[in-house]
A and B are shown apart, each in its own frame.
Chain A
């Protein structure tokens, strides 16, 4: 398709080029012919002036100063004409060659050359000169006519070729339109129809996803919300049961009661976290958020944890960003509390927050000197309720980083981690400077 299109354009350019060459040739030819005809006319004029000079000589009975120069001009014009038409290409209707015709003029010129030497001019001489002159003029007329005819003939030939080329170009254009551009147009139309169709399907799919996502959120919300109710009953009952009857049980019975208590409390935490996860970002609002302010708030909120572990939290001046404020705050809070939590008991936690101004994003780094993460767990840690330590080692349901991931994705960014086990972790996240509001 593409190839045909290019060939079509090439043919059009070629025809236009040929056309141009012919026009140039035509112009040049016309100029040469006009020039030759001009010389022939001048020749006629010169012969009349020469005849005139002879009359002047006869009347004033003295020689002319002009005659010599006029005669020289006359003969050189004659030679020029012979030279110009020397290739025998200019021919009359009757087949007479212009060069031959010009050569026939030689006797007239010879006659005048002889008259030049005359001192006195008799009436008979004048009569002979006049006659010579008349005959020369009529010969010259015939020659000019042949030249003009020949030029016209050449021109009409070129004009015919021009017409031919014009119609040829027109024909090629029509063929191109029919065989190349129309099929291309048809294909493009078909392609655009397909695109439109795909677009519509995509829109439809998007709507479906939106609905499904809403349903999913609702289910998560309802499930976790409605689960809380019976769970609260179980939990309260177990509490009362435990205080009232614990002492009447044997060792195994008390153990079982302990399992029930801890399982219930774990479930309450799980359900609470799931509920928080499902409503996360539901009433989010974009605003100008000063990250320094947020971090001070987080420090305040985590103050008991921070003072208990003697934690050091450092940051340089952080930017003001366009973000979902309470969500961003939760993000920093989760990352910082993780950094404090996942630490060796004897270590003093040191946390540093840095920011970087990228073209489209703000990039943040939260680094710690904690226990770090084994390489094989790095992918797992962002999954919901995924824990890589036992409950006894580090408490929690394992939802914190899922929250973080959800929040970062809300900000059209990415969350990732570089970590060396035993040395600490660097959590990175980006948030887009211009967040596309795209409510799924």
Chain B
């Protein structure tokens, strides 16, 4: 059985978090393919080189990462060609309690959602309902 969502990109520096997120996504048969990157730089490199079939539908993005953090990732993300970005839903996923981060996320047009970690079954269903209902 094929899922509605084709590819999910996980961007987080914490291996355990990525492991848990992968597990939840797989257990819910949420998508066909999961790509995991451990910092913003790797993620951007992946998006730059990705062919049309590899472009993810959802990016779950962490804020606090070494090297290129979530905000810097978004700066570089903005420079990607329009057609690559068109189908991507960016979900900022964080443990940050920082009110500034939330403000910043809401006012950033590149971010579709701002959610707290960890990913849950309900959150995944909610996102699918919201963005992929008619696919």
Contact = CB atoms under 8 A, between A and B. Distances in A.
B66 A389 contact: yes
A11 interface: no
A263 B16 CA distance: 8
Interface in A172-216: none
Contacts of B16: 259-260, 262-263
Nearest to A374: B67
A388 B66 contact: yes
Contacts of A387: 66
Nearest to A260: B16
A389 B67 CA distance: 6
A263 B19 CA distance: 13
Interface in B62-81: 66-67
Interface string A210-231: 0000000000000000000000
A256 B22 CA distance: 13
A255 B15 CA distance: 11
Contacts of B67: 388-390
Contact of B19 (A255, A388, A391): A255
A387 B13 CA distance: 11
B39 interface: yes
Contacts of B39: 390
A259 B19 contact: yes
A259 B15 contact: yes
A390 B19 contact: no
B38 interface: yes
Contact of B38 (A259, A260, A263, A390): A390
A259 B16 CA distance: 6
A432 B66 CA distance: 34
A276 B57 CA distance: 44
A374 to B, nearest CB: 9
Nearest to A390: B66
Nearest to B19: A259
A392 to B, nearest CB: 9
Interface in A360-416: 387-391
B112 to A, nearest CB: 27
Interface in A257-278: 259-260, 262-263
A256 B23 CA distance: 11
Prevailing SS type, chain B contact patch: loop
Contacts of B38: 390
**How many A residues touch the partner, as a band?**
10 to 19
A256 B19 contact: yes
A262 B15 CA distance: 10
A355 B17 CA distance: 46
A269 to B, nearest CB: 15
Nearest to A259: B16
A377 to B, nearest CB: 9
Nearest to B20: A259
Greatest chain B CB density within 10 A among A256, A259, A263 is at A259
B65 to A, nearest CB: 9
A357 to B, nearest CB: 39
Contacts of A388: 66-67
Interface string A49-65: 00000000000000000
Query: Which residue, of B13, B19, B39, B66, has the highest number of chain A Cβ atoms within 10 A?
Result: B66
A256 B16 CA distance: 8
B9 to A, nearest CB: 19
A402 B66 CA distance: 17
A348 to B, nearest CB: 26
A388 B38 CA distance: 13
A219 to B, nearest CB: 14
A391 B13 CA distance: 9
A6 to B, nearest CB: 52
Interface string B1-44: 00000000000010110010000000000000000001100000
B48 to A, nearest CB: 20
B76 to A, nearest CB: 13
Contacts of B15: 259
Nearest to B65: A390
A256 B13 CA distance: 17
B34 to A, nearest CB: 15
Contacts of A259: 15-16, 19
Interface string B84-111: 0000000000000000000000000000
Contacts of A262: 16
A315 to B, nearest CB: 32
Contacts of A390: 13, 38-39, 66-67
- Which 6 residue pairs spanning A and B have beta carbons closest together? A259-B16, A390-B66, A387-B66, A388-B66, A389-B66, A263-B16
19 contacts: A255-B19, A256-B19, A259-B15, A259-B16, A259-B19, A260-B16, A262-B16, A263-B16, A387-B66, A388-B66, A388-B67, A389-B66, A389-B67, A390-B13, A390-B38, A390-B39, A390-B66, A390-B67, A391-B13
Interface of B: 13, 15-16, 19, 38-39, 66-67
Interface of A: 255-256, 259-260, 262-263, 387-391
Given A262-B16, A390-B39, A390-B66, 9 more contacts: A256-B19, A259-B16, A263-B16, A387-B66, A388-B67, A389-B67, A390-B13, A390-B67, A391-B13
